[in-house]
Amino acid sequence: MAERALGEISDEEEIWLTIRSVLTIIRVAVLFGTIIVSEFFEQYYILDLTVAIWSLIVGIPLFFFISVLILWGNKAFIPASTQEQVSTILRPILERT
């Protein structure tokens, strides 16, 4: 994508790049928030579990879910260039023999 000129980016791709940057910031905030909450709220309990444990129960799956959304969006909205498609070897072991 770096070799493409800025004028070649479609509106759909430009919108996705904006959403991806917001998702990335949220993902980092979730990571740091999980760590901070788990460190500072060890003495408080909700439903017989500490708030620190609840932050891990909620924070880790949320982090992975946001990561999967980013990967899915990259695959769906950023097309692979034709040069990348041509140079990809689908069965490298068959190519070597």
Give pLDDT tens digits for 16-64.
999 999 999 999 999 999 999 999 988 888 888 899 999 999 999 999 9
pLDDT score at 88:
62
Q: Kind and range of the H or E element at 50?
A: strand 49-50
pTM for the full model?
Answer: 0.70
Residue 81, pLDDT above cutoff 90? no
Is the pLDDT confidence value at 93 over 70?
no
Q: Copy the structure tokens of residue 42.
A: 């060890």
What is the distance in angstroms between the CA of the first residue and the CA of the last residue of the chain? Answer: 32
